[in-house]
Chain A
Amino acid sequence: MIESLRCLPGVGPKSAQRMAYHLLQRDRRGAERLGQAITEALQHLRHCTQCNNFTEAEVCERCLSARRDHSLLCIVEMPIDLNSMEQTHAFSGLYYVLMGRLSPLDGIGPKELAFERLIQRATDGEVKEVILATNFTNEGEATAHYLSETLHARGLKVSRIARGLPVGGELEYTDAATVAQALLERRDYQ
């Protein structure tokens, strides 16, 4: 049991031991619930056919919601990025989770990321604009570039989230690379 707990991120031998003894000595009901929850999740969890995020149903609640704008599709790398976007309360469209990014040196290309599925989803007629919200790393940029090319060619409006100084940011405390890029990508000011 201690060995199994160590598969969790941030759990070393010592904390694994503490968790195991806690579950066995003080909280046997909790241990049972945890075990069941893990088994159930593993059995029922799958990818939403619309957004590719984890869900128990065929299509997740968010994709079915009538309150969301079905003509906007925001592409993110990971489920955790989707959570970050949701926390902004600034986006009411739908998402597509790639579950990764292009990484040529690791052999991760369009086939590994199932680009075909995404292209199908984005060209189903409902989506009018695609927002690329992959990370501003080299891998995220490569992913955004190729998605933009291929989706553009299919007649979709494609946009990329902006990059620059953070809200409340001061030049003095911002790293040179960010300032340089913000300068390069400056825009007209009215």
Chain B
Amino acid sequence: MGRQRVDGQTCFVLHHHPYSETSLIIDVFSRDHGRLPLLARGARRPRSAMRGMLMAFQPLELGWFGGGEVRTLAKAEWLGGMPLLSGRCLMLGYYLNELLVKLLPREDAHAALFDTYFAALSALAQGGADAPELRRFEISLLRELGYGLTLDVDADSGEPVQTSADYAFVLERGPVQKVGAGDTALEQGLRGKTLIDMAADDYSDPRTRLESKILMRRLLAHHLGGQPLQARRVFMELQEL
């Protein structure tokens, strides 16, 4: 891998770790270069211009250089325009970041996913309805990762999903119409309407919101391969306080 210089990239910091005495390693999601780790030299010095700027959930314009796995951050500018996340929305932001950190391979550009992530954070920052944003992001994540999520076509018959029928979602395949009650006892039941709504990006029906949440949770758990989501656990514990 040759040395290269990249400038003017819109990025989000997903996570950060302290590195040596005064530096920071940031896990960055950039629009054109995907997710990559950057070394921010001296970013933890008391008077560093970058101190406090390399925050998650804020659009930044970053520039970096170097070859190898960890590039060096050269420049950081605050793009602004997005209010800081707070409260519950902040925890949902952590959830999005954890999904990206755990599922997105490094240095794989996903511009569409980046835009969905940007839109989801903007919506969270405005404090709007969060369920549609989260589902949209989750669906975009699975599609971009190449899991080919099919929602509105029956995986068995190849026919379009019907509003009034009940479906079971078979992992790695897609929705399959339930013939009789209880023949796929282990599968979570789904209305055809939920699948059609999800495909049409319409979350106005409360039952669609509930069923899509359960379906996406199951699909993500499958792709996470049993890794627990810390953000969800912490969120649940905080709800119990």
Does B associate with A? yes
Which A positions have Cβ atoms within 8 angstroms of B?
9-10, 102, 104-111, 115, 119, 137-138, 141-142, 145-146, 149-150, 175-177, 180-181, 184
Q: Which of B78-86, B138-146, B157-165 lies at the binding interface? A: B78-86
Cβ of A175 and Cβ of B78 under 8 Å apart? yes
Cβ of A104 and Cβ of B241 under 8 Å apart? no
Contact partners of A142 in chain B: CB under 8 A: 90-91, 94
Q: Is B200 in contact with chain A by the CB < 8 A criterion?
A: no
Q: Among the interface residues B58, B85, B237, which one has the most CB atoms of the partner chain A within 10 A? A: B237
Which B positions have Cβ atoms within 8 angstroms of A?
15, 21, 52-53, 55-58, 78, 80, 83-87, 90-91, 93-95, 97-98, 101, 230-231, 233-235, 237-238, 241
> Which of A109, A138, A177 is B237 in contact with, Cβ under 8 Å?
A109
> Taking A115-B241, A138-B56 as contacts, is the C-beta distance between A107 and B91 under 8 angstroms?
no
A176 to B53, CA, bound (A): 10
> Which of B56, B90, B97, B237 is A110 in contact with, Cβ under 8 Å?
B237
Cβ of B80 and Cβ of A107 under 8 Å apart? no
Cβ of A110 and Cβ of B234 under 8 Å apart? yes
Cβ of B237 and Cβ of A141 under 8 Å apart? no
Contact partners of A180 in chain B: CB under 8 A: 80
CB of B239, distance to nearest CB on chain A (Å) = 9
> Taking A176-B78, A177-B53 as contacts, is the C-beta distance between A109 and B241 under 8 angstroms?
no
Using A105-B97, A150-B241, A175-B78 as known contacts, list a sample of 12 further A-B pairs with CB atoms less than 8 Å apart, ordered by residue number in A.
Answer: A104-B95, A105-B98, A105-B230, A105-B231, A109-B237, A110-B237, A115-B241, A138-B55, A138-B85, A142-B90, A146-B238, A176-B78
CB of B37, distance to nearest CB on chain A (Å) = 14
A149 to B241, CA, bound (A): 9
Interface residues of A, dominant DSSP: helix
The chain A residue with its CB closest to the CB of B229 is: A104
Cβ of A177 and Cβ of B78 under 8 Å apart? yes
CB of B47, distance to nearest CB on chain A (Å) = 12
Contact partners of A111 in chain B: CB under 8 A: 237
Contact partners of B52 in chain A: CB under 8 A: 137, 175, 177
The chain A residue with its CB closest to the CB of B102 is: A105
CB of A164, distance to nearest CB on chain B (Å) = 13
Cβ of B21 and Cβ of A105 under 8 Å apart? no
- Could you show 30 A-B contacts with beta carbons less than 8 Å apart? A102-B234, A104-B91, A104-B231, A104-B234, A104-B235, A105-B15, A105-B94, A105-B101, A106-B230, A107-B230, A107-B234, A108-B234, A110-B234, A115-B241, A119-B241, A137-B52, A138-B57, A138-B93, A141-B84, A142-B90, A142-B94, A146-B238, A149-B241, A175-B52, A175-B53, A176-B78, A177-B58, A177-B80, A180-B80, A181-B84
Contact partners of A137 in chain B: CB under 8 A: 52, 55
A105 to B95, CA, bound (A): 8
A142 to B237, CA, bound (A): 13
Contact partners of A110 in chain B: CB under 8 A: 234, 237-238, 241
A142 to B15, CA, bound (A): 15
A141 to B91, CA, bound (A): 10
The chain A residue with its CB closest to the CB of B57 is: A138
Contact partners of B83 in chain A: CB under 8 A: 184
The chain B residue with its CB closest to the CB of A109 is: B234
